[in-house]
Structure 1
Amino acid sequence: MSPPAGARAPRPGGASRVLGDFDPRAALERVRSSLPAVLQIVVAAGAAFAIAHFGLGHAIPVLAVTITISSLGFARDARPRRVLENAVGVVIGIALSEVLLLAVGKGVWQSGVVLLATLLVARFFSANSAFAVAAATQSMFVALLPDPAGGPFTRSLDGLVGGAIALVVTAIIPRDPVGLARADARRLFRELDASFAALVLALRHGDVRRADDALATLRATQPLLDDWAQTLDTAVSIARISPFLRGRLPALEREQRLLRYLDLATRNLRVVARRIDTSTGDGRRRGEIADLVASIARATSALGDSIEAIELIPVAQDALTAVARRLDPRAVLPGAPVGETVVVVMLRPLVIDLLMATGLDHEAARERLAPV
């Protein structure tokens, strides 16, 4: 049956495309991973409401609750400094708005003046654009909502309550920052494992498609490294003020060192993968180099496992040392032309970075390399 006159016919397959974009497993994982943040926000908002309402006698402490929620949020970066900066931003917006409204009153143009002043002041004090947006949003609450029964600056006091509760809850009820950092690390090491495996197959069989896959995977690892760095920085920041996480601080700081040198190693591995990608098109098999890359892959996997099992660090270090002592292109490929030995030479800085990730300094890592 044709649609009524003037009605727009549905697009064929439109509903299925919309439904096809929804992944139930990803949605459930998103909910599961957000549970710590959800519980933290609910507890903090309830505490802010209770303190402002029952403790200070404010009938409707809207700003105390909204500031608590906006200061915590769902951002990956949940460092106390970010929470404090956001809370300070909204309190400044509220206080400045109340001062201006006392001077110019309420109205359309007055709201514009308040918004203009709040944005300019916020931009002056912070380069963070979110700081200015948070301050401006709360200033409009002040300008547009009816005056509270408590008189001027009641809302500023609510803002202080909300910001303080958000900061305290960040320390007392952290949202599993260590678990988030570990999850980011596991995602990165899975990609590195896949890349190493593809490079080994490319070298053993002269398979340029495998080399292409490895290079594409490695080029996509930078966001994973960035995510891990951010969650790890958050975990360290919270552990420094949280009585419940302070004991994890040494392990987190070791993980920061691991990340720093693994980032350098990943960049070097991309260069190695690019070289392998350009040289495997000739169909030749390079089993000797494949053996070296496979050995580095096993050591890197042990390095990843050491995040949760520190006793594996010496295992990874010994495995990398064994590879380092073999990285002499004359011994690996005797009599081969320079073009063939380049990959072996390029593996040397990669192994140095990985050795430094195990805790060695640069000089000690270099000493483990085969002389050339």
Structure 2
Amino acid sequence: MSDPRSVVAAATPVVTAAKASTVDRLKASAVRLRLSAIPIVQCALGAALAWFIAHDLVGHLEPFFAPTAAVVSIGVSFGARIRRSAELVIGVAVGIGIGDLFIAQVGTGVWQVGLVVAGAMAVAVFLDSGAILTIQAAGSAVLVSTLNQAPGAGPARMIDALIGGLVGVLMVAAIPLHPVRRAREHAAEVLSVMSKSLITCADGLLEQDSSKVHESLTSVRATQKQIDALRSALEGGREISRISPLYWNSRKRLERIHSAADPLDNAIRNTRVLLRRSLTLVRDDEVLDPRLIDLVDQLGHAVDVVRRMMLADPGEQPDQAEAARGLRSVARNSRPELVAGAGLSAHVVFAQIRSIVVDLMVVCGMQRISAIALLPPTVPNPYVTPEE
């Protein structure tokens, strides 16, 4: 019989990992709820206000489209709300118009419903590629072709949709999210994953542990949703900075973060390449200069400083200076002798380190050509003699 103590000892790491995973999921859920708190409030108040205006002030008996339009135009995704409002109103108008026209001529029934929906969606797709416009056109066509509506209900529904869309825009202006903070948080989240992955990768390279490198690669591969969320937050932030007087003065800060989005995306893509090649390097038992491993670790810690800079207030220049200083140190240490006589994978890792440094310097506000100039040359200068 096996020793019970050995069974417990063997099960302990599994239990610990399960608890850690559960805690991580709960933390992620809490962060997601916190980031969505204001949009939830906006949707709730917007739906109630849209119903009140359409039902109590305008006098529509069943203003279904008013709160629906308000919720859809606000949404929780924090991006392109004005466009969503326009798509919703146009979609409802297309669906109701085609539905009323069709049903008046051919009546209701199984094939009529299918034909009305197909016609409404085809017209919506022809007018625009927006998904909301197409879905709203189809939904409105279904309602028109299946529900018994009172005469003149078509125009009333279009008015309700317009009321809801306008209320949605009003809610965004009256109770706005901070247009810069949310984008900074998404960027910092990407940088956090990137930093931890590079540090873990350095440990894996040092210990020849492919599982650590693979774990890092998996984490970085999952950052695309954060990049997409960052771009959505920037788009939503631009809308808020245009329609909300409270944040008109945030446009310059928002543009700075917007200019950092592409180089940050490039940096995370280059990190994926670095980690993939590091995994190949470990699995092939390729010899690696310890100084190159240390450089990967240095880069990971420098990325964490950039993360703190991203979360800092605009006036906190020391964080920006510290981030640039850390990246310059990595740049100075990325000398070609680190890969002298090394294999292909080591050269790829070395090249990606230099590319990531340049990308992150651009994130910090430096011009790309100036960032490249800080890197040690990889080939001798033909205009300098050895005596010089």
Give the TM-score normalised by the residue count of structure 1.
Answer: 0.81
- Which residue does 1:16 correspond to in 2? none
Mean CA deviation greater in 195-204 or 143-152: 143-152
The change in CA–CA distance for 1:276 and 1:126 in structure 2 (over 3 A counts) is: same
1:30 Cα deviation after fit: 5.3
Q: Does 1:357 align with 2:334?
A: no
SS at match of 1:245: helix
- Which residue does 2:353 correspond to in 1? 347
The CA deviation string for residues 80-124 of structure 1, in whole angstroms up to 9 with x for no partner, is 2233223322233234434545x4375326555543432221121
Mean CA deviation greater in 169-178 or 258-267: 169-178
Alignment of 1:216-365 (within 5 A): 216-281=218-283, 282=285, 286-309=289-312, 310=314, 311=317, 312-330=319-337, 332=338, 336-339=340-343, 342=347, 343-365=349-371
The change in CA–CA distance for 1:227 and 1:165 in structure 2 (over 3 A counts) is: same
- Which residue does 2:377 correspond to in 1? 371
Letter in 1 for 2:291: E
- Which residue does 2:3 correspond to in 1? none
Letter in 2 for 1:290: I
Alignment of 1:43-58 (within 5 A): 43-58=45-60
Aligned residues: 347
- The answer to whether the 8 Å contact 1:202/1:208 transfers is yes
1:157 Cα deviation after fit: 1.8
Letter in 2 for 1:347: I
Letter in 2 for 1:52: A
- Which residue does 1:17 correspond to in 2? none
Mean CA deviation greater in 199-208 or 168-177: 168-177
Residue in structure 1 matching 2:69, options 62, 67, 70: 67
Residue in structure 2 matching 1:136, options 135, 138, 141: 138
Give the TM-score normalised by the residue count of structure 2.
Answer: 0.78
1:175 Cα deviation after fit: 4.7
1:288 Cα deviation after fit: 0.8
Letter in 2 for 1:201: D
The CA deviation string for residues 298-332 of structure 1, in whole angstroms up to 9 with x for no partner, is 221121111222422222122212221222222x4
The change in CA–CA distance for 1:138 and 1:351 in structure 2 (over 3 A counts) is: same
- The answer to whether the 8 Å contact 2:85/2:168 transfers is yes
1:167 Cα deviation after fit: 2.6
Aligned mates of 2:114, 2:215 — CA distance in 1: 55
Once superposed, what is the RMSD of the aligned Cα atoms? 2.9
Q: Does 1:88 align with 2:90?
A: yes
Aligned mates of 2:31, 2:273 — CA distance in 1: 34
SS at match of 1:137: helix
- The answer to whether the 8 Å contact 2:38/2:177 transfers is yes
The CA deviation string for residues 246-282 of structure 1, in whole angstroms up to 9 with x for no partner, is 2222222212222210111121122222222222343
- The answer to whether the 8 Å contact 2:196/2:300 transfers is no
Letter in 2 for 1:357: V
| Sequence identity percentage | 30
Aligned mates of 2:98, 2:262 — CA distance in 1: 42
The change in CA–CA distance for 1:303 and 1:31 in structure 2 (over 3 A counts) is: closer
Name structure 1 gaps, 5 residues minimum: 1-20
Letter in 1 for 2:370: A
- Which residue does 1:42 correspond to in 2? 44
- The answer to whether the 8 Å contact 1:122/1:132 transfers is yes
Q: Does 1:107 align with 2:113?
A: no
SS at match of 1:74: coil
The change in CA–CA distance for 1:52 and 1:253 in structure 2 (over 3 A counts) is: same
